[in-house]
Amino acid sequence: MNPFQGVIPAITTPFLADDTVNFAVMDAHARWMLANGCSGLVPCGSLGEGATLSFDEKVEVIRTCVLAAGDKPVIAGIAALSTAEAVRLAKAAEAVGAKGLMVLPPYVYVGDWAEMRAHLDAVIDATPLPCLLYNNPVAYKVDFLPEQIAEMAKRHANLVAVKESSTDARRIAAIRALIGDRLVLGVGVDDCLMEGVAMGASFWIAGLVNAFPKESVELFELSRAGKFDEAFRLYAWFLPLLRMDTVPKFVQLIKLVQQEMGWGSERMRAPRAALVGAEREAALAVLKQAQATLNEALPTRA
């Protein structure tokens, strides 16, 4: 089974007041999104605050998602300060039941292509699991260019997908032009969904889906079906929220919206802190407007 298809939440990591992971809420939240049409789960990514989790916490988060997902795939985010730790995490993710790996560049160190290629080689070769290359130069300061992605596809049979998060709508087309259908292509930024699907993306690793799974799945399915007028009406409604996924405080914003929609809390691990003042009020105003106008975007629900 191809684990890279449909709408796949980059699931947030909930925390208790004592700063430990709230595994019970994570389990319930995961099950709710899957019941509302999501195709799988991606734990330990950027939105999941993977950089603040210990190795053991990451493994337990992945295990929790696997148990919640049943027969749907869990694609574990694999990032670490060192290549050795990333390899160890990849093997641990396989051991607890992950069905795929989302491979990131290393945290902190920004190397040249030879160094980054060696890191990717080691992680992708660590298990036989299908791997997704995550390109997010905005967050990680490493940009995997289409030519480099094509090179990695030749080197690794189990590299089967790319999550393109450069925010450059031209990238998916550029990758396809180089490698055709060799890799499954996915959108990794929320406010580029329709553009990415129009260029051939077949999955969406999404952020606001944590609060709006039904709407996210409907938008994706309408886009994939080529029902662009209906899709754009929903997209236009959703865009003020989706843009929260592409700013430095995306974790704060998405967790706030998720809390207001009744799932989890906005607690985060320091140095992140909850939004206050005008920032918070502006985000809540966007959410309030979206709640008030949803029926206009979905007239069949009126």
Report the interhelical angle of 113-124 vs 83-95 (nearest 10°): 20
pLDDT of residue 2: 80
Q: Please check the confidence at residue 225 and state whether its pLDDT lies above 60.
A: yes
pLDDT confidence bin for 276, thresholds 50/70/90 = very high
**Strand 184-187 with 75-78, pairing:** unpaired
Is 163 among the catalytic positions?
A: yes
Given a contact cutoff of 8 angstroms between Cβ atoms, the answer to whether 131 and 183 are in contact is no
How far from the centroid of its chain's Cα atoms is residue 259's Cα? 19
Burial of residue 108, with CB atoms counted within 10 A of its CB: 0-12 exposed, 13-18 middle, 19 or more buried? exposed
Tell me the Ramachandran region of residue 70: left when phi exceeds 0, alpha when psi lies from -120 to 50, beta otherwise: left
pLDDT confidence bin for 66, thresholds 50/70/90 = very high
Q: Please check the confidence at residue 295 and state whether its pLDDT lies above 60.
A: yes
Q: Please check the confidence at residue 264 and state whether its pLDDT lies above 60.
A: yes
- Per-residue model confidence as pLDDT tens digits over 167-184: 888 899 899 999 999 999
pLDDT of residue 301: 45
| Residue closest to 23 by CA, chosen among 52, 51, 47, 59 | 59
Q: Which of 58, 99, 163, 255 is catalytic?
A: 163
Between 264 and 163, the higher pLDDT residue: 163
Give 43-65 as a DSSP string: -SSTTTTGGGS-HHHHHHHHHHH
Given a contact cutoff of 8 angstroms between Cβ atoms, the answer to whether 209 and 33 are in contact is yes
| In the chain, % of residues over pLDDT 90 | 88
Q: Mean per-residue pLDDT for 55-66? A: 98
pLDDT confidence bin for 1, thresholds 50/70/90 = low
- The amino acid sitting at 12 is T
pLDDT confidence bin for 299, thresholds 50/70/90 = very low
Full set of structural domains in the chain with CATH: 6-225 (3.20.20.70)
Q: Within 13 Å of residue 94, how many CA atoms lie on the same side as its CB? A: 15
Q: Which of 58, 72, 99, 134 is catalytic?
A: 134
d(CA 195, CA 168): 10
| In the chain, % of residues over pLDDT 70 | 98
pLDDT of residue 140: 85
Whether omega before 130 lies within 30 degrees of 0, making that bond cis, reads no
d(CA 208, CA 51): 20
pLDDT confidence bin for 300, thresholds 50/70/90 = low
pLDDT of residue 106: 93
- Per-residue model confidence as pLDDT tens digits over 67-100: 999 999 999 999 999 999 999 999 999 999 999 9
Is 109 among the catalytic positions?
A: no
Q: Mean per-residue pLDDT for 118-143? A: 94
| Residue closest to 246 by CA, chosen among 39, 65, 10, 26 | 10
